[in-house]
């Protein structure tokens, strides 16, 4: 079993490319999509593809959607799950390289130009996990538990990284590039929805600060990792 989990909310054109790149992997993929109440044709598109689809009808938030898919696969007996964004394009060897690394929590690294994923891949391990493309193994899920869904859209990735670090689990990138359209969801949202996303992002960062006593990206935050650099996502 090579499970893959994607969370979607609108952004149909980006989602098409992301889904195509998952199906283009050079290993077989068991593909689940959790759709958070899309209204732009994304749901119809997904129903016409060979994905296992969970449609919530309303937005669960990213953290709850991740937890739903991860719990499903790990309860089925999966040893690992590849979690991807719907606003990114992945190389055909991305999943295979993440699996073969053997690490407990390994990620790719987002790049800004589509041509930048075409270069020859040279593995480069660095302590900068990117939660837009990560492989999590069962051992991590069982030890750390689910993502903290009190942070619905943002900051739960940085929270998870801190929790892994505290538990002695090294999370890192192997330098596998993927093309990431940063903030693809908010860029494709209506003005009203974009404002709601920004409001929730602020609330999530506040929740993180109350939990850890520091702001994401602050000196105090970085100091918690010692020589290991923290995740830049979720800031």
Over the stretch 84-96, which tens digit does the pLDDT of each residue have? 999 999 999 999 9
Domains belonging to the chain, first-starting first, are 3-223 (3.90.550.10)
- pTM, two decimals, is 0.91
pLDDT value of position 190: 74
CA 102 to CA 196: how far, in whole Å? 39
Cα–Cα distances (Å) from 162 to 96, 109, 169, 171, in that order, read 26, 19, 10, 10
Q: What is the pLDDT of residue 230?
A: 55
> How does pLDDT run across 2-24, given as a tens digit for each residue?
999 999 998 899 999 999 999 99
Residue 233 has pLDDT above 50, yes or no: no
Give 25-58 pLDDT, tens digit per residue.
999 999 999 998 898 899 999 999 888 998 877 7
Q: Is the pLDDT of residue 157 over 50?
A: yes
Question: Tell me, what's the pLDDT at 235?
Answer: 34
Cα 153 to Cα 137: distance, rounded to the nearest angstrom: 22
- According to the model, what pLDDT value does residue 137 have? 98
> Is there a contact between 217 and 210 (Cβ–Cβ < 8 Å)?
no
Residues 102-147 pLDDT 10s = 999 999 999 988 888 988 898 999 988 999 999 999 999 999 999 9
In the predicted model, is pLDDT for residue 229 greater than 80? Answer: no
Q: How far apart are CA 29 and CA 44, in angstroms?
A: 21
Determine the Cα–Cα distance for residues 164 and 134; give it in Å rounded to an integer.
Answer: 14
pLDDT in tens, 164-213: 999 999 999 999 999 998 665 666 667 777 787 788 899 999 999 999 99
Q: 232: pLDDT confidence band, cut at 50, 70 and 90? A: very low
């Amino acid at each position: 079993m090579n499970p893959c989990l994607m969370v979607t909310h609108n952004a149909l054109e980006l989602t098409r490319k992301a889904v195509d790149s998952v199906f283009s992997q050079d290993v077989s993929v068991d593909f689940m999509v959790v759709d958070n109440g899309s209204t732009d044709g994304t749901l119809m598109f997904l129903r016409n593809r060979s994905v296992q689809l969970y449609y919530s009808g309303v937005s669960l938030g990213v953290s709850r959607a991740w937890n739903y898919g991860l719990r499903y696969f790990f309860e089925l007996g999966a040893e690992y799950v590849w979690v991807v964004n719907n606003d990114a394009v992945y190389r055909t060897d991305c999943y295979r390289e993440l699996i073969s690394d053997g690490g407990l929590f390994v990620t790719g690294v987002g790049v800004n130009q589509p041509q930048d994923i075409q270069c020859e891949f040279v593995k480069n391990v660095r302590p900068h996990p990117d939660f837009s493309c990560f492989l999590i193994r069962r051992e991590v899920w069982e030890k750390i538990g689910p993502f903290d869904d009190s942070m619905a859209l943002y900051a739960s990735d940085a929270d998870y990284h801190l929790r892994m670090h505290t538990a002695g689990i090294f999370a890192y990138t192997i330098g596998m590039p993927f093309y990431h359209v940063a903030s693809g969801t908010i860029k494709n949202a209506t003005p009203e929805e974009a404002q709601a996303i920004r409001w929730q992002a602020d609330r999530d960062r506040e929740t993180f600060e109350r939990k850890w006593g520091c702001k994401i990206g602050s000196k105090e935050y970085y100091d918690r990792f010692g020589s290991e650099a923290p995740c830049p996502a979720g800031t």
